[in-house]
Amino acid sequence: MAGWLARRTAHAAVTWAGAVVALFLLLRLLPGDPLASAADLPPETRLALAHLYGVDQPLLTQLGHFTAGLLHGDLGTSVLYGRPVVELLAAHLPATLLLGLAVLLTDFGLAWWLGNRLAARAGSRADRWANRALLAGHALPPYWLGLLLIWPLALTWGLLPAAGLADPLLPAGAGATRALDVARHLVLPWLTLTLTTLAVPLRHHREAVYETLASDWVRAARARGVPEGEVLARHGARPSLGPLLALVGAWLPMALTGSLLVEGVFAWPGIGWLMAESVGGRDLPLATGCAALGALAAIGGMWLADVLHRLLDPRVAA
């Protein structure tokens, strides 16, 4: 196990390094002027800014400087904000983690609870209608659904705030009042992402439980007179929990990257919103930092999925 883990970790690190280099090059090959916001400045000031951000250097030289800085934890300075990219990412990461982890917990909690019950009632009217509703939600564009929810819940009835992380007029020491206000701001983006992402883990778990319930040992348990509730909980749901937990690793990147459009719709100040701002403003250092963080989440999530799968499935570990 230790040898496999070391090889898998090394493979993930090399993959992430290659992805970051590719993203660095692709972002700099996009059309547009990285110093477009400085177009009205005097030429000597503009040249000084180009030298400061390194955009006047050859592409390979820029890549070398970026790689050297990356090894020391330095992703450069944002053109739009004039602050270190690492500092901006650290400031916006908590908002994305709050939204993403809330959605993940809801998705997998509902997937386990509802998947067990739908598998036990496979083919029933409730099962068919639940599958249709889930697929309809999964097919909806998240940004469109977000706007659709804002209309009645925020604009018409005024039940929930339409945008932002918290009321900017609340004092910093508001304590419980501020926490409640953040929770109210969280509801609409959380609901939007939950409705559009629940189908995958739920259907995955439902199918796993359904196949387990059709196995020989479950039929033997029923033949022994084991109550149906115990059959579902002990013989059906518990053995099917491993694949669902392994899916969590593959689902983690959504916490950083999958909410990009939703964060833009609700002005949720997370990494997705920051990425959209950086790309729109041609802020190459910031866009590269956001993309590198997204690649780290994707590759780290797949690494975690492989590790969980190997730990939870004895057939793979063997």
CA distance 191 to 52: 43
CA distance 230 to 157: 45
pLDDT for position 243: 73
Owner of token pair 């019950």: 117
CA distance 76 to 4: 35
pLDDT for position 73: 86
Tokens linked to 16: 């992430």
pLDDT for position 150: 93
pLDDT for position 50: 78
Going from the C-alpha of 43 to that of each of 52, 54, 55, 82, 279, the distances in angstroms are: 14, 16, 15, 19, 24
pLDDT for position 89: 93
Type of residue numbered 139:
A
pLDDT for position 92: 92
Type of residue numbered 234:
R
pLDDT for position 246: 72
> Is this structure's pTM higher than 0.75?
yes
pLDDT for position 187: 94
Q: What is the pLDDT of residues 271-286, one digit of tens each?
A: 888 888 888 888 888 9
Residue of 192, 201, 188 lying closest to 140 (CA atoms): 192
Regions in the chain scoring below 50 on pLDDT: none
Q: What is the pLDDT of residues 243-255, one digit of tens each?
A: 777 777 777 766 6
Burial, 3: exposed, middle or buried (Cβ in 10 Å; 0-12, 13-18, 19+)? exposed
Helix (H), strand (E) at residue 172: none
